[in-house]
Amino acid sequence: MTVLVTGGAGYIGSHMVLDLMKTGEEIVVLDDFSTGFPGLVPAGVRVVEGDIGNRKLLERLIPDYRIDAIAHFAAKIVVPESVEKPLFYYDNNTSRARTLIEAAVNGGVKHFIFSSTAAVYGNAETMPVTEETPPNPVSPYGRSKLMVEWMLEDARVAYGVEPMILRYFNVAGADPLCRSGQATPRATHLIKTAVEAAVGKRAGMSIFGTDYPTADGTCVRDYIHVSDLARAHVLALDYLRKGGKGQVLNCAYGHGSSVSEVIETVRKVSGVNFNVETAPRRAGDPAEIVATGEKIRSVLGWEPQYDDLETIVTHALAWERKLMDQSRQADARAALATV
């Protein structure tokens, strides 16, 4: 039995690979390296470079590697970019996922873990949200993922695929042993941006909107540590393989932090009082998204280990410093080579 991890060279996928390796699981990573990095895939893991929309490749890969489960991470994930380029998102996240689901059906793969998102809820009327809260995405990104959820639910009825739909809230932090983390250039996510400002990679940062109907006027999100999220995937895989029923699960801790609180935490943990400006609201941002986070605990027995904003920031900062050191060393090597 082998797990196909699409996007396994990316931020969250690579953390699932690290967790799967603990139990000696057979793994194949499929990644086109458009946003992933070969260096994030642990040594010894098989990697196929390719596109999830490449039907011929999938038809070969599934039987060749005896794939019994797919964890599908490969996607574009930047909300404001999806507002600017909706068709790009519907192609990448929706059309290509359809091809992957079809290949799973044709190849007899029954277990399918899908990276969905809190963005499917949009501006929910009641907070915190539960899995019963009606989806109402306000961005093309959220819609591009919700359509895949629907395809999977239909595929279950028609073909017996068992999909576990994991709706991620705001994923942040890095592997506590610093083996992986978020490496995206020109990152837009809040904690990544703030730790970049703390290590001096950027001159400062902006708060997008201070006039939201929240306690301090800035947006509120349920930040969850990437290693806890990876664990949820491994538990979901085990659950499906034991005959558990696929379902929608929110991946969240059940409490939120505001943009201002996050920035203050990064300043405190780093000891750097980096520059912060206020800026207008960003397109597509809901004021608040927080979940109860109860169902995933009861269904999968998920016990988060890093439910603490300071811990998340500490790990994100350690990873950012590692990236800085690596880039300084690369610059030094390049300078020596030109002497």
- Candidates 72, 96, 111, 221; binder of ligand UFG (CB under 6 A) is 221
DSSP single-letter state for residue 67: E
Smaller CB separation from ligand UFG, 48 or 120: 120
What six digits make up the tokens of 4? 């196909």
* Distance in angstroms (rounded) separating the CA atoms of residues 68 and 141: 28
Give the containing element (helix H, strand E) for 144: helix 140-159
Smaller CB separation from ligand UFG, 104 or 263: 263
**Among residue numbers 105 through 124, which ones bind ligand UFG (CB under 6 A)?**
117-119
3-state DSSP assignment of residue 137: coil
* Distance in angstroms (rounded) separating the CA atoms of residues 216 and 113: 36
**Which residue in the list 11, 121, 141, 306 is annotated as catalytic?**
141
Beta strands at 220-221 and 257-258: parallel, antiparallel or unpaired: antiparallel
Q: Which residues pair with 277 in a beta bridge?
A: 206
* Distance in angstroms (rounded) separating the CA atoms of residues 140 and 52: 20
- Candidates 99, 188, 214, 247; binder of ligand UFG (CB under 6 A) is 188
Give the containing element (helix H, strand E) for 229: helix 226-241
Min dist. Cβ of residue 41 to ligand UFG (A): 22
Smaller CB separation from ligand UFG, 61 or 75: 75
Smaller CB separation from ligand UFG, 77 or 147: 77
Residue 138 binds ligand UFG, judged by CB under 6 A: no
**Among residue numbers 55 through 114, which ones bind ligand UFG (CB under 6 A)?**
77, 79
Active-site annotation holds for 141: yes
Binding site for ligand UFG (CB under 6 A): 77, 79, 117-119, 169-170, 188-190, 193, 205-208, 219, 221, 259, 282, 285, 289
